[in-house]
Amino acid sequence: MEWSEVLDPALSPEELICEKVPRLHEARLEQFQRFSSATLIFSVEFTDTGDRFTFSLSPDGAEARTGEMIDFPQATARGAQSDWSRAVGLVATLVEPADQQIERYEGKVHITQDIVDGFERFDGVLEVDVVDLPDGGPKLSFEVILNDYEEPPRAPRAHLTVPWQVLDEVAHGHLDPVAAAKGLRIRGSMGLALDLGGYFDQQLDLSRG
């Protein structure tokens, strides 16, 4: 299954997440097993429509549905559905070159259940602005809620400004994710951002090989 079949801006969120993502995971299950022995759960919530979609990826397969699952996600992405088609089209330009880089991390990155369990201690929200987009349009803004469907009371917040050029250089293998993260502009809870960065740096070898 090709990425172009999945990251099609004409697809609705339900079609992409509930239909295409499980099919893509099935087609690439062997690759997933090389990089993760844990189940990963992600949720997407749209603030302007109230719609939510949740999917899990595991070494045994994938599941996707509208609404929430029984288990909590590692991350919930929250943004406007009005940005959906534009965001999907932009992400599509990154995924294919990024896909060509993934094999360099084989043997260096493997997500275990211990890593997922350790990640559960983090709570908070990352506010993300992707700026200087190649289509010349306004920034894309969204939030990432850690380890929950909803923002916990008094959760720390860190604001990250991510230039599109950084994403493009990571996708094409010109910049490793660790160096990219260290160069981002961060406001708000520096403790949350630094703790997260330190955890991933300790657990996963994301430096460019």
How high is the mean pLDDT of the chain? 92
Alpha carbon 55 to its chain's center: 12
Confidence of residue 196 (pLDDT cuts 50, 70, 90): confident
State the DSSP H helix or E strand holding residue 72, giving kind and residue range, or none if neither: none
Per domain, the residue ranges of the chain are 3-203
pLDDT > 90: percent of the chain: 71
63: helix, strand or coil: strand
Indicate the helix (H) or strand (E) that contains 157: strand 157-163
- The enclosing H or E element of 142 equals strand 140-146
Closest of 190, 33, 81 to residue 126, by C-alpha: 190
Model confidence at 194: pLDDT above 80:
yes
Helix extents (H) in 43-176: 84-99, 113-119, 164-171
Bridge partner residues of 54 (DSSP):
43, 65
Q: Tokens for 45, please give them.
A: 């919530």
Between the CA of residue 20 and those of 47, 98, 104, what are the distances in Å? 22, 19, 26
pLDDT band for 167, please (50, 70, 90 cuts).
very high
- The per-residue pLDDT for range 54-106, each reduced to its tens digit, is 999 999 999 999 999 999 999 999 999 999 999 999 999 999 898 888 887 77
pLDDT band at 158 (very low <50, low <70, confident <90, very high): very high
pTM reported for the whole predicted model: 0.92
Instruction: Work out the pLDDT band at 208, boundaries 50, 70, 90.
Output: very low
Q: What is the mean pLDDT of residues 38-65?
A: 97
Query: Closest by alpha carbon to 36, among 54, 62, 16?
Result: 62
- Of the ranges 50-64, 68-82, 160-174, 185-199, which one carries the lowest mean pLDDT score? 185-199
Q: Residue 20's pLDDT is what?
A: 97
Take residue 201 and report the two structure tokens written for it.
Answer: 């740096």
| Two tokens, residue 21 | 């993502």
Which one has a higher pLDDT value, 180 or 90?
Answer: 90
